[in-house]
Amino acid sequence: MALRNEWPVIAIDGPSASGKGTVAERVAAALGFHFLDSGALYRLATLAALRQGLDLSDTTALAAAARDMDVAFRDGRTSLDGEDVTEALRTEAVSAATSRVAASPAVREALLARQRRFRQAPGLVADGRDMGSTVFPDALLKVFLTADVAVRAGRRHKQLMEKGMCAKMSDVVEELTQRDARDSNRPVAPLRHYPDAIFLDTTALSVDQAVERVLSWYRERAP
Ligand code: DC
């Protein structure tokens, strides 16, 4: 039996609200590939820990919660231990706590094998911060997708308003800037443009244009 899994992976990494989730999902749909939203796994581990009343500085307990949680992704919905938590995962409180939990090496280690299990036929598009650098270092294509903080804040603000959640633009900019700083400065798997990823700045691109760029880079490399 081959030790390595040869199914192609497209790794799409980048900061919050860069649009990488939408682009990654669209690329996966176009190719008929599986899709891994690794941020959702970090959010699920955080929600599991919060619901168990864990101390967020107890990294051993956090890692156990991340390892033991029962999660399912189906028809655009996400469940945790049998309960639909799709909306609960996206609250600002969970976002802020997740960024702390994701800084724990023990939690990152606990989620590694779970993430790698998403690599199945005929291929995978993986969205996160360290997909190309740590989780799938042999990915066929690695993209670091970003946009100006003002553009990202505008996109996040629009999303929040669409969900009926009131938010001040200045607060959204502040929250994104803080989260970027936390995700970039942590010692383990920091958010960073690693050398073998192609840099894709979507500040002036539509979603369609960004998807087309990624697909064309993939076609150039596909076996
Ligand atoms: O992509 P997102 O906003 O759903 O990610 C939620 C948090 O998880 C964010 O603080 C970054 C972190 N994260 C991470 O550290 N590594 C990943 N591969 C994905 C997300």
The tally of domains found in the chain comes to 1
**42 CA distance to ligand 1 middle (Å):** 6
| Mutational test site, ligand 1, from 42, 62, 136, 184, max ligand atoms within 8 Å of CB | 42
The answer to whether residue 212 is domain-embedded is yes
Residue 18 carries which DSSP code? Answer: S
Nearest alpha carbon, ligand 1 atom 11: 99
**39 CA distance to ligand 1 middle (Å):** 4
| Ligand 1 atom at minimal distance to the Cα of residue 179 | 10
| Mutational test site, ligand 1, from 62, 98, 112, 178, max ligand atoms within 8 Å of CB | 98
16 lines ligand 1 (CB under 6 A): yes
Looking at residue 209, what is its pLDDT? 97
Nearest alpha carbon, ligand 1 atom 16: 129
The answer to whether residue 4 is domain-embedded is no
- At 3, the pLDDT band (50, 70, 90 cuts) reads very low
pLDDT tens digits along 147-206? 999 999 998 898 888 878 788 899 999 988 988 888 888 887 777 788 899 999 999 999
pLDDT reading at 2 higher than 60: no
The answer to whether residue 209 is domain-embedded is yes
Residue 112's domain is classified under what CATH number?
3.40.50.300
d(CA 212, CA 195): 22
Looking at residue 189, what is its pLDDT? 74
**215 CA distance to ligand 1 middle (Å):** 23
pLDDT reading at 216 higher than 50: yes
Helix count and strand count (H, E) for the chain: 8, 8
d(CA 220, CA 223): 9
* Residues of the domain holding 92: 9-218
38 lines ligand 1 (CB under 6 A): yes
**3 CA distance to ligand 1 middle (Å):** 28
More confident residue, 223 or 58: 58
The answer to whether residue 2 is domain-embedded is no
The answer to whether residue 223 is domain-embedded is no
Neighbouring-strand partners of residue 144: 13, 199
Chain-wide mean pLDDT for the chain?
92
Contact between 108 and 188 (Cβ < 8 Å): yes
Contact between 217 and 198 (Cβ < 8 Å): yes
Nearest alpha carbon, ligand 1 atom 8: 39
Looking at residue 156, what is its pLDDT? 87
Nearest alpha carbon, ligand 1 atom 6: 39
Contact between 145 and 23 (Cβ < 8 Å): yes
Cis peptide before 122 (omega within 30 of 0): yes
The answer to whether residue 3 is domain-embedded is no
The answer to whether residue 130 is domain-embedded is yes
User: What percent of the chain shows pLDDT beyond 90?
Assistant: 76
Looking at residue 129, what is its pLDDT? 92
Q: What's the full length of the chain, in residues?
A: 223
- Identity at 62, one-letter amino acid code: L
Looking at residue 191, what is its pLDDT? 79
The answer to whether residue 181 is domain-embedded is yes
**207 CA distance to ligand 1 middle (Å):** 21
